[in-house]
Amino acid sequence: MSDATVILTDKRPEPPKADFAFYIDFQKGVGSPSRVFSATSDFIKACERLDKELVRSVDSNIETVLILEDIEAASLKTWLRNVLVATEDDGLKALDWKPLVGKYLVRAKYAILKWIDNEEGPKDLRSLGREIQLIASETDVRHLPDYSPPSPQTLIRAIEDFQGVKDRLAEGDHAAFISEDAEHSINISIRLSIEDIEQLAVKEIVQQQRQPLILAVKKPDYLGESMWEMRFGKRTISAKLADEDWLKRFQNREVDVRPGDSLRCEVDIDLLYGHDNEPIGERYTIVRVIEVLPNTFSQGSLF
């Protein structure tokens, strides 16, 4: 057997070849253990969805895929890297664009996370969009000063996604976004409601009151503390049920509603428009439930 040599050193190992990491220092013995992995999974999904939108600001020919480089245990540190590809484009062939776009994606995430946690002064969604637009222009991939900012919908979705990651974690947990150039300690205690986030992008609300609709029930809210998940045609929507008398009867099991049933109801619809006068979202409020329509469809009735 050959002799082996062991060398002790106080130098930390080199980090893996990655663009950034999501770090969770979790409080042991507190809360559900799955929260750490759920928060990490949600963070990765949020980054994937955001990156696909962000690269469009640079060049529509670029596509990005997020890959896992390494996981460090004890606490949980997940290292991730963007793999960038482009279709045939003469403007990109003459430029080493991948490192530039990779840094842009990292810096844009950092800007959004820092914006969420900033408690100084009122939040301005347009200023966040302009900051990311400036970061995109610094890549100079197209050699043109026409980089577009991410849409308000993209920013709202990203903020909601990252807020959802915070909601997974327990008091006493710590999280951070780490890159080569910067590190941001995520403030888990700061909470932004979805309505507050949407309101930042809203210029005008067009109200349609007391609209008669039939909405299929996908997921009822049995506790009366959150939104009902409904199906309107082929779309899934969230609706607030504001008919308190009917809701009380439902919670007391005086009314039977099951997924697949429908509600004939009167609905207030708020159409949200952004500062570019484009629609950015809708809000549904069920103000009156007229009747429950049981799902009577069966496969046997087709034959």
Q: Which CATH number, 1.10.260, 3.90.550, 2.40.50, 1.10.10, labels domain 202-295?
A: 2.40.50
Helix ranges (H only) for 94-141 are 98-117, 125-137
The residue with tokens 């949980």 is 76
Cα–Cα dist 81/103, whole Å: 11
Query: Considering the chain, what is the average pLDDT of its residues?
Result: 85
Cα–Cα dist 33/54, whole Å: 33
What average pLDDT does the segment 170-181 reach? 92
The pLDDT score that the predictor gives to residue 61 is 82
Q: Are 18 and 79 in contact (CB under 8 A)?
A: yes
Cα–Cα dist 188/162, whole Å: 10
How is residue 267 written in tokens?
Answer: 């609905």
73 compared with 119, residue with greater pLDDT: 119
- pLDDT tens digits for range 32-47: 888 999 999 999 999 9
Q: Which residues of 256-288 are buried (b: 16+ CB within 10 A; e: fewer)?
A: ebeeeebbebbbbbbebbbeeeeebbebbbbeb
The answer to whether residue 289 scores a pLDDT higher than 60 is yes
The pLDDT score that the predictor gives to residue 294 is 94
- pLDDT tens digits for range 234-285: 899 989 999 999 999 999 999 999 999 999 999 999 998 887 788 888 899 9
Q: Are 273 and 293 in contact (CB under 8 A)?
A: no
The pLDDT score that the predictor gives to residue 84 is 83
The pLDDT score that the predictor gives to residue 299 is 47
The pLDDT score that the predictor gives to residue 301 is 45
The pLDDT score that the predictor gives to residue 93 is 56
The pLDDT score that the predictor gives to residue 244 is 93
What average pLDDT does the segment 174-198 reach? 87
Q: CA-CA distances (angstroms) from residue 192 to 109, 127, 163, 167, 260?
A: 17, 18, 7, 10, 32
What average pLDDT does the segment 220-244 reach? 87
Q: Where are the domains of the chain?
A: 20-197, 202-295
The pLDDT score that the predictor gives to residue 138 is 85
Length of the chain: 303
The pLDDT score that the predictor gives to residue 122 is 78
The pLDDT score that the predictor gives to residue 241 is 94
Q: Are 84 and 102 in contact (CB under 8 A)?
A: yes
pTM over 0.85: no
Helix (H, G, I), strand (E, B) or coil at 257: coil
What band does 95 get if pLDDT is binned at 50, 70 and 90? low
The pLDDT score that the predictor gives to residue 222 is 78
| Dihedrals phi, psi of 194, to nearest 5 degrees | -60, -40
How is residue 88 written in tokens?
Answer: 């045939």
12 compared with 172, residue with greater pLDDT: 172
